[in-house]
Amino acid sequence: MTTIERVSTTASSVPLHTPFVTALRRTETTDTVIVTITDSDGRTGWGEAPQVWQVTGESLAGATACIEAMLAPTITGRPLDDRDDLAAASRLVQRCVARNFGAKAAVDAALHDLVAQAEGASVAALLSSRPDGIRDRLTTDVTLSAGAAEALADTARERVSAGFRTLKMKVGTDASTDVQRVASVRDAVGPDVAIRLDANQGWSREEAVQVIRALEVADLGVEFVEQPVVADDVEGLAWVRERVGLPVMADESCYGLYDLERVIRLGAADLVNVKLAKCGSLTVGRDMLRRAHDAGLGTIVGSMMESHVGVGAAAALVAAEPTTEVSDLDAAWWSRRSPVVGGIAYCSNEISLPSIGGFGISGFAPES
C-alpha cells in the first residue's frame, strides 16, 4: 500500500525580469511557498501557494503555518493508491481549515501530481474525461503592467514582437486617463492583436460605466473588462454589466462554486476567471469551469503571480477542461528563472506541458 509519508514547505522568492504593476500592487519578485509531498514509494508531488496580500490575504508565513500545523498532519499516513484515495485526501484538505485557499491548492496539486506519476500520466490526463485527448500546448495572453501611455505602447510592441497575440492591460489606476492608455496601445499594435482589460477592482461603479462606455464609443476592439469594481460588490458588478455593452468578467468576486452561483443568479458577469489559489482545488476548479459553461458564461483560467509550479497546475486544468477564451497563464513567464527542474516551458505565447509523469518536475533548480 502506498501512503503519504511526508509534507514539506519551502519559501521561494524569484526575481522578475520586469516589475509587475496593477491597481492593487507592485512587485519585483514572485514570493510563494512550494509544497512537496513524498509518498512511501519515493515519489515527490509538487504544489505552490502564492503570497497575495491584496487579493487573497495569504502570506508566506500564513500558508506555511496552515500547511505544517493543519494540512500535513491531516493527510500524513493516509493511503494514496488510487483515484479514490486521492479524492478522499483532497476532501480532507478542503474541510480541514476555513479559507486558506492557496495553501489548500498547493497540497491538492501535489496529491494529484503523486497519483498521476503513479499512473504514468500527466495531471491533465488524470483530471480529464475527454475522449479526444489532452493538449500538450496552450496559448496564453501576456500582461501589460499599469503605466503611462507612451511606455505602454512601447511595451505592447515588444510583446507582440515576442509573439504574443493577446494583451491583457492593467487599468483602474486612473479612470480619467485609462481610455487614453488603451487607445495608445491599440494604435501601437494595430487591429489584429486582441486587447483585454483588467481593472483589479480599481473603479467605482460610476467610473466603471463611464470608462467602459467611452471605450465602446472609441471602438478600440476590447475583448472584455475584468473586475471593474471591488470584489465584495457583486451587486455593483451586475449594476455595471446592465449598463454597458462590453463583456464583464468576474475575478476577485468569484472564488469558488458558492460565489459562482451568486454571480450566475445576479447576472453579474459574462465571464469568470477561475484560479486555483482562489478555489483551493483542481477538482473544484474543474467543476467551476463546467458549471460556468452550463450557465452560458465564458471562462478563462488564470493564476496569481506564481512560478512554474503553480502555473503548471493551472495549465493542467486548462488542458483537461478547455476554456472558452485564451487563458491568462503568463505569470511564470515574468520570472528570471524557474525554481524547479522540469515542468512547463514557455515558447513565445505558447506553454508546453509534460505528457507523462504528473507535472514533470524532477527537483529544485540550483540558485544561480
pLDDT per residue as tens, the chain (368 positions): 999 999 999 999 999 999 988 877 788 999 999 999 999 999 999 999 999 888 888 999 999 999 999 999 999 999 999 999 999 999 999 999 999 999 999 999 999 999 999 999 999 999 997 656 688 999 999 999 989 999 999 999 999 999 999 999 999 999 999 999 999 999 999 999 999 999 999 999 999 999 999 999 999 999 999 999 999 999 999 999 999 999 999 999 999 999 999 999 999 999 999 999 999 999 999 999 999 999 999 999 999 999 999 999 999 999 999 899 999 999 999 999 999 999 999 999 999 999 889 999 999 999 76
- Given a contact cutoff of 8 angstroms between Cβ atoms, the answer to whether 324 and 317 are in contact is no
Gap between the Cα atoms of 181 and 71, Å rounded: 45
Predicted local confidence at residue 53, as pLDDT: 83
Known catalytic residues? 170, 275
Predicted local confidence at residue 124, as pLDDT: 96
- Given a contact cutoff of 8 angstroms between Cβ atoms, the answer to whether 146 and 170 are in contact is yes
Predicted local confidence at residue 22, as pLDDT: 87
Predicted local confidence at residue 368, as pLDDT: 64
Report the first-to-last Cα separation within the chain, whole angstroms.
Answer: 39
* Cell numbers found for residue 210: 463611464
In degrees and rounded to multiples of 5, residue 49 shows phi and psi of -120, 110
DSSP 54: T
Gap between the Cα atoms of 192 and 150, Å rounded: 20
Predicted local confidence at residue 58, as pLDDT: 95
| Structural domains of the chain in order of their starting residue, each with its CATH number | 4-120 (3.30.390.10), 137-364 (3.20.20.120)
Find how far residue 68's CA is from the centre of its chain: 24
Find how far residue 113's CA is from the centre of its chain: 18
- Which H or E run contains 75? helix 72-75
Would you call 244 helix, strand, or coil by DSSP?
coil
DSSP 69: I
Gap between the Cα atoms of 278 and 107, Å rounded: 14
* Cell numbers found for residue 282: 483542481
Gap between the Cα atoms of 304 and 280, Å rounded: 13
Predicted local confidence at residue 219, as pLDDT: 97
Gap between the Cα atoms of 117 and 28, Å rounded: 34
- On the 0-12 / 13-18 / 19+ scale of CB atoms within 10 A, 17 is exposed
Predicted local confidence at residue 132, as pLDDT: 62
